[in-house]
Amino acid sequence: MLLLVSCITDFLYRKIPNILLIVVGAYGLIASAFGAGDLVFINSVLGLLTGLLIFMFPHYKSWIGAGDVKLMGVIGIYLGPSLTIITSIYSMLVGGVIALLYLLYRGNFQESMSSLLGFKTSQGQMPYAAAISIGAVLAVLTTQNIQI
């Protein structure tokens, strides 16, 4: 539900609600502290820190928003540090494909490439929660022995 609601609100409003991230993150940390399921508290904390740290540089460069950083941190609570790293790699790959399609759809691919090369232009925001969510699903599916 976290991933779905994050995608919808990011697409519609370009925001991921803090209350959603706080509630889901707090639940994950509390559940891991009491040993619920496969969650181990230290792995949840390390996953949180891993998710936050990996996405801090792109946020610092204004490539992604703070909500995306927090979303990756909350995902890390549930996945632990190793799977959070894999999730971030998949998210960046998926994000690149989505960004390319988004720029082609908006019709400003050439303008954005000029900006990337250092020429000043205006750019719109791309909702990145979808890339993060798809990356998380891919990370879980590719690291599990799941038969479909």
Q: Map out the domains of the chain as residue ranges.
A: 2-143
Chain-centroid distance, C-alpha 32? 21
Coil, helix or strand at residue 84: helix
Q: pTM of the full predicted structure?
A: 0.84
CA distance to 19, 33, 147, per residue, from 3 (Å): 14, 23, 22
Query: Can you read off the two tokens belonging to residue 144?
Result: 């599990």
Residues of the chain with pLDDT under 50: 117-123, 147-148
Coil, helix or strand at residue 109: helix
pLDDT confidence of residue 88 = 97
Count CB atoms within 10 A of the CB of residue 31: 16
Tens digit of pLDDT for each residue in 83-111? 999 999 999 999 989 888 877 777 766 56
Q: Is residue 2 within 8 Å of 118, Cβ to Cβ?
A: no
Evaluate the CA torsion angle 25, 30, 35, 37 in order and state its sign: negative
Count CB atoms within 10 A of the CB of residue 70: 22
